[in-house]
Amino acid sequence: MQWASWSAFFNMGGYAFYVWFSFGLTALCMAWEVIALRKRRVEALRLSKLLAQD
C-alpha cells in the first residue's frame, strides 16, 4: 500500500490535476461511447420497425 491516507491518495503527490484528469477523461470517453451506441441502437431499431410496418 502506497498511501498514508485518503487525502494523500487524492492528492497524488501534488499531481492530482494531471493524474485524475487523465483517468477521468478516459472513463468519460468510454461512458460517452457506450451511451451514444445505446441511443444509436434504439434509433436504428425504431426506424427499421417503422419501415417493417409499411
Which residues lie near other proteins (CB under 8 A)?
1-2, 9, 12-15, 18-19, 21-23, 25-26, 29-30, 33-34, 37, 40-41, 44-45, 47-49, 51-52
Q: How far is the CB of 5 from other proteins (least distance, A)?
A: 14
C-alpha grid cell, residue 11:
492528492
Query: Distance (Å, rounded) from C-alpha 42 to C-alpha 54?
Result: 19
Q: How far is the CB of 28 from other proteins (least distance, A)?
A: 10
The CB density around residue 36, as the number of other CB atoms within 10 Å, is: 10
Closest CA relative to residue 12, chosen from 23, 24, 1, 3: 3
Q: How far is the CB of 7 from other proteins (least distance, A)?
A: 13
